[in-house]
Copies of this chain bind each other. A is one copy, B any other.
Amino acid sequence: MATRNGPRTEPRTPLSRDRVLRAAVKVADEGGIESLTMRRLAEELGAEAMSLYYHVAKKEDVLDGIVGVIAGEINEAVGRIDVPSQGAAWKAAVRQRILTARQVFLRHPWAPRVFETRTDVSPAVVQYFDALIGLMRDGGFSNDLAHHALHALGSRALGFTQEMFDPGDGTGDESAAMLDAMAEQLPHLVGMLREIAHDDPDSTLGWCDDQTEFEFGLDLILDGLDRMRETA
């Protein structure tokens, strides 16, 4: 009765958890995370939705797996870094590591949201953090300070931030008139937006999270930690 792909066609590479997860990343890369449905994923693999359940427990499991794949990509990237980290060099080492991890997220703009919604940590992520702690220890951090540092960095440690604030791509347009309208309600905000002219309309990750701002915040924290390290 000739199923969709006939019984006697080419053998078709078998599914596997790994293949499923990689396909999931591909689908998300192409159509965004909301396009990732079990049916779409199956289609990508030339299979049926229910066949996936032989390799993953449920959709949550796919999301968990995706985090692992991305974290693996990050670990691979940072693993190639070889710079000194002893003493004062810790800061540059951590900085480079984080910015390298960030590169991966820039390739997968949907990934931050997935990372944030995961409740149990993947081994690959834990591994990443372990190495980061190692660098801090090299710099003379106490375990206590390293712990605080991880919390202080939060998602920034992995290379992304979630911005609460998006000055709506204030590109000329009609927004100038809009600013006038809001000026009395929001004097400080409008004053600020008017002045900063928003002259960097490129490279955003999520909402207004451009490279310059990311590095500003990162350096602010790293500098603060460095001071604590020295006075300890």
> Which chain A residues have a beta carbon within 8 Å of chain B's beta carbons?
113, 115-117, 119, 121, 125-127, 129-131, 133-134, 137, 143-144, 146-148, 150-155, 157-158, 161-166, 168, 185-189, 191-192, 195-196, 207-209, 213-214, 216-217, 220-221, 223-225
Chain B residues with CB under 8 A of A208:
151
B195 touches A143 (CB 8 A): yes
Total copies of this chain within the assembly: 2
Chain B residues with CB under 8 A of A196:
143-144, 147
B189 touches A133 (CB 8 A): yes
A131 touches which of B125, B133, B188, B214 (Cβ 8 Å): B188
How far apart are the CA atoms of A187 and B165 in the complex, in Å?
Answer: 38
A151 touches B165 (CB 8 A): yes
A125 touches B164 (CB 8 A): yes
B144 touches A216 (CB 8 A): no
Most B C-beta atoms less than 10 A away, residue of A115, A150, A221? A150
How far apart are the CA atoms of A115 and B220 in the complex, in Å?
Answer: 25
A134 touches which of B131, B188, B217, B223 (Cβ 8 Å): B188
A-B contact pairs, 9 of them (CB 8 A): A129-B164, A151-B213, A152-B213, A152-B216, A152-B217, A153-B217, A154-B164, A221-B221, A224-B224
How far apart are the CA atoms of A189 and B143 in the complex, in Å?
Answer: 9
**Which B residue's beta carbon lies closest to that of A157?**
B164
**Which B residue's beta carbon lies closest to that of A224?**
B220
Given contacts A129-B164, A146-B188, 13 further A-B contacts (CB under 8 A): A125-B164, A126-B189, A133-B189, A143-B191, A143-B195, A144-B195, A147-B196, A151-B213, A152-B216, A153-B217, A154-B164, A220-B221, A220-B225
